[in-house]
Structure 1
Amino acid sequence: MQNPINLVMQLPRRALFSYRSIVSQEPACWFLYQPYIWHGQRKLKAAGVSPQERIVSSATQLVIDGFPGSANSFAALAFKRSQKQYINLAHHLHSPSQILQAIEREIPVLLTIREPVGAILSIASRRPYITATQGLHTYIGFYSKLKPYSSHYVISTFEQSTQHLDRMIARVNTVFNTNFDLVDIAKANADRQTKKAQRDSEKLAIRESIREEKRQEFTLEKNAQLLIQAKALYQAYEELAHQRQ
């Protein structure tokens, strides 16, 4: 059982997460989402990375994005490292409205997706204030918003993103008539394992503990219908992904 004080302290963060989820999904709320874009750009600039990677613009050549915890980091980094020349890539937007802007501008989009429990546990282990209920509502809203536009992006499941990203980039090239360099998936996974081995074992243990605690929330009755809906949505995307291989 959570400490009541910790629970109260988490409430503002939970509210902000729900707020961000709502404004990120609606193009009409673009101006309300703008501060989050600026925040992401400042973080990139501080890290020596182009701020343009956090926004879709006329200069964007490719978007790799999806719900958090869907191998977005792996896919974006592996893609960037595999290109012989600089590609203006937008990633980690976590915003359906940004993806819709890319579609409107006819910019290629690789949409990442992971089964809902795995994706939500991934983000909740890093942000423990997020509840399973919040995660499910956000997941459903995210992919429901984009589903009508499925012919305008390439879908990449978690397995495809982490094991067959080379094929997915080849698929992007075919669908959008682009010429991106293919990803060396063996090297990308080797780099990931090296990075994983260098992580703080204590922090990893804490995250795993949080993950297991959060997993129990999915068994609550209030989440039953949400989980069914989220899984059905994922299955629909998964079927589309495999149909288009």
Structure 2
Amino acid sequence: MENLKRTVRSSPFIYLNYQLLKPSKRKLVVTRNTNLVVEGFPRCANSYTVHLIEYLLKKHNISDFKIGHHLHSIAQIKRAKKHNIPCVILIRDPTQAIASYLIRSNMSSVNQLLKEYLHFYTKISEINFQFVLVDFNEVISDINILINRVNLRFNLDLPLFIERDKDEVINYMTRVSEEKYSNNRSKYSVPNREKEIEKKLVLKQINDSEKNNLLREASELYNELKLTFIEK
């Protein structure tokens, strides 16, 4: 059943057309009119990246710039390749990404998430397509790294950010998290003390899983992709 679900999520025709039927998902789906695609495994700074780019576009009065994002699906990337749309792939150390995902979603299957991580990034490595791969740590430390790579690779002119822009976006994401999760701060999209405390417990759970196989394989894939695709 899980293999069937992965096959469906990898099909642009099936999965993306299905998402178009959902009003809340329509604006996320890649179409031929999309200007930029930002995708990655969940908890890899997807929200932060998209919010900050959209904030900069609005700040500089750049309209009619559509971003496809947040479906966490290979289908999005295949559609981007078909229409030759600039594409950013976000990646994060699997232990950290899965720990953050477990806290946010209340899921308990570490091994299932490791399989999803492996499937997502293995398929990406097999796609013959000129995407930009950016690591979570680079995005968080200085998103201008991402913007500069995108501008250079795809001949775009996305505006760069200043520190004040980052503060504005973090404040916005905090307000959204407060509205959605109230006092459950461990589920917020931004760093906080509660998340870090819970994360330590979850990290132990991950490291106690079948790390000799799935976790090691995911970590090796993460390092291999960074070495192969991230520009120095």
User: For the superposition of Structure 1 and Structure 2, which TM-score range results when normalised by the shorter chain?
Assistant: 0.7 to 0.9
Paired with 2:41 and 2:129, the residues of 1 have a C-alpha distance of 19
TM-score, normalising length: structure 2? 0.80
Q: Secondary structure at the match of 2:144?
A: helix
| 1:43 partner SS | coil
Structure 2 gaps of 5+ residues are 188-193
Contact kept in structure 2, 1:162 and 1:189, CA below 8 Å: no
Kept in 1: contact 2:103–2:186 (CA 8 A): no
Q: Does 1:43 align with 2:24?
A: yes
Question: Within 2, Cα distance between the matches of 1:62 and 1:72?
Answer: 13
Counting aligned pairs with the same residue, the percent is 23
1:189 to 2:166 alignment: yes
Q: Distance in 1 between matches of 2:118 and 2:222?
A: 9
CA deviations on 1:41-93 (whole Å, 9 max, x unpaired) are x236xxxxxx33x1111100100110000000000010011113121111112
Aligned letter for 1:68?
Answer: P
Q: Which residue of 2 aligns with 1:120?
A: 98
Distance change in 2, residues 1:140/1:203 (3 Å): same
SS of 1:152's equivalent in the other structure is: coil
- Report the Cα offset of residue 205 of structure 1: 4.5
Alignment-derived partner of residue 232 in structure 1: 220
Q: Would the aligned equivalents of 2:139 and 2:145 in 1 still touch at CA under 8 Å? A: no
2:111 matched to which residue of 1?
133
SS at match of 2:122: helix
- Aligned position for 2:43: 69
Which of 102-111 and 188-197 deviates more?
Answer: 188-197
Q: Which has the higher helix share?
A: 1
Distance 1:163-1:107 versus aligned 2 partners, 3 A rule: same
CA, structure 1 residues 150+57, in 2 after alignment: closer, same or farther (shift >3 Å)? Answer: same
Relative to structure 1, the CA distance from residue 69 to residue 215 in structure 2 (aligned partners, 3 Å threshold; closer, same or farther) is: same
Deviations 1:94-113 (CA, angstroms, capped at 9, x unpaired): 00121121012110001111
Q: Please, what TM-score do these two structures have when normalized by structure 1?
A: 0.77
Distance of aligned partners of 1:180 and 1:114 in 2 relative to their CA distance in 1, 3 Å threshold? same
The SS at the match of 2:68 is strand
Instruction: Please state if 1:203 is matched with 2:163.
Output: no
The question of 1:27 aligning with 2:11 is answered yes
What 5-or-longer segments of structure 1 have no aligned partner? 1-14, 45-50
Change (3 A) 1:122 1:103: same
Matched positions, count: 217
Describe the shift of the 1:221–1:166 C-alpha distance in structure 2 as closer, same or farther (beyond 3 A). closer
Amino acid at match of 1:118: Q
